[in-house]
């Protein structure tokens, strides 16, 4: 059965769901209660519990492959099994692979195969530093979301992203304008902006219109949710994928970790709904 990222996302927005849970499942932080005989089984058990506890509240899940690749074969197997589990138990919830890929065409062709065919993700984050041409293998997948890093959430984001380029426009604005026009021929381009920079988020929203924006930095990075919603929502009072990772999945290190994760997710879900 074919899956279209934008259609899945719009359906979730119709339901009033804008929360994305980041499955950054660092095995060193997983509770003792979930630990199994091996690394793969431990990570999968944790992720399954989080998914089961939150799947009716979210618009997407966002695993970052770094936390899985760091554990070798078992970790990568856990990533694939986690996505497969989401597709089985929550088939209406899209999966975003937060891989931030960036390379030449021949390499990106392989990254696209890995993300969309082997792992079966619905969307991927990409880095625009190499320009549009090498991103073609991602954009050519019309049913997949391609989320372009525009202004990230880290403290050092402004070092390059706010530099002035041709005409005096900041680089992040130039990226947003390119993504909204030249790069979006197939209508599957999205934008990534950090919630820790609400003014920049507002500027990006003005540039990209009603394109989906993935926002990270709410929770552990102390992004301001109210400002994020005000500056980031589109003309339809939607358009946002609001990610929270550590503040939800590691809210408890005890045997109640899944229940506490659900409570935190529900609280954030309700705050987003009220703010939209």
Beta-carbon neighbour count of residue 102 at 10 Å? 18
pLDDT on residue 31: 96
> Could you confirm whether 17 is annotated as catalytic?
no
Band of the pLDDT at 222, cuts 50, 70, 90? low
Mean of pLDDT values over 160-182: 94
Task: Give the domain CATH number at 190.
Answer: 3.20.20.70
Domain that residue 71 falls in: 5-275
- Catalytic hit among 12, 55, 62, 100: 100
Instruction: Report the domain count for the chain.
Output: 1
The CA–CA distances, whole Å, from 160 to 101, 174, 218, 241 equal 18, 12, 22, 24
Output the pTM of the full model: 0.96
Closest to 197 measured CA to CA, from 239, 151, 149 = 151
Sign of CA dihedral 90, 91, 93, 97: positive
* Per-residue model confidence as pLDDT tens digits over 55-112: 999 999 999 999 999 999 999 999 999 999 999 999 999 999 999 999 999 999 999 9
């Amino acid at each position: 059965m074919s899956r279209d990222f934008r259609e899945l996302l719009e359906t979730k927005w119709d339901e009033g769901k804008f929360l994305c849970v980041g499955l950054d499942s660092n095995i060193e932080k997983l509770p003792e209660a979930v630990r199994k005989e091996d690394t793969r089984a431990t990570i999968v058990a944790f992720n399954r519990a989080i998914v089961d506890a939150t799947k009716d509240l979210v618009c997407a899940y966002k695993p970052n492959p770094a936390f899985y690749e760091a554990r070798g074969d078992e970790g990568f197997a856990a990533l694939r099994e986690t996505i497969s589990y989401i597709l089985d138990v929550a088939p209406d919830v899209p999966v975003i692979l937060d891989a931030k890929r960036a390379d030449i065409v021949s390499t990106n062709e392989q990254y696209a195969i890995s993300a969309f065919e082997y792992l079966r993700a619905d969307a991927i984050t990409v880095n625009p530093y190499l320009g549009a041409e090498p991103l073609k293998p991602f954009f050519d997948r019309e049913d997949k979301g391609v989320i372009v890093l525009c202004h990230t959430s880290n403290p050092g984001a402004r070092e390059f992203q706010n530099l002035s380029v041709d005409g005096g426009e900041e680089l992040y604005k130039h990226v947003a304008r390119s993504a909204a026009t030249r790069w979006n021929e197939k209508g599957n381009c999205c934008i990534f902006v950090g919630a820790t920079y609400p003014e920049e988020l507002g500027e990006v929203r003005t540039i990209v219109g009603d394109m989906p924006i993935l926002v990270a930095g709410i929770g552990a990075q102390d992004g301001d949710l109210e400002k994020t919603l005000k500056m980031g929502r589109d003309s339809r009072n939607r358009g946002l994928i609001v990610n929270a990772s550590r503040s939800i999945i590691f809210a408890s290190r005890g045997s109640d970790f899944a229940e506490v994760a659900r409570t935190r997710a529900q609280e954030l879900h309700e705050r987003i709904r009220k703010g939209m």
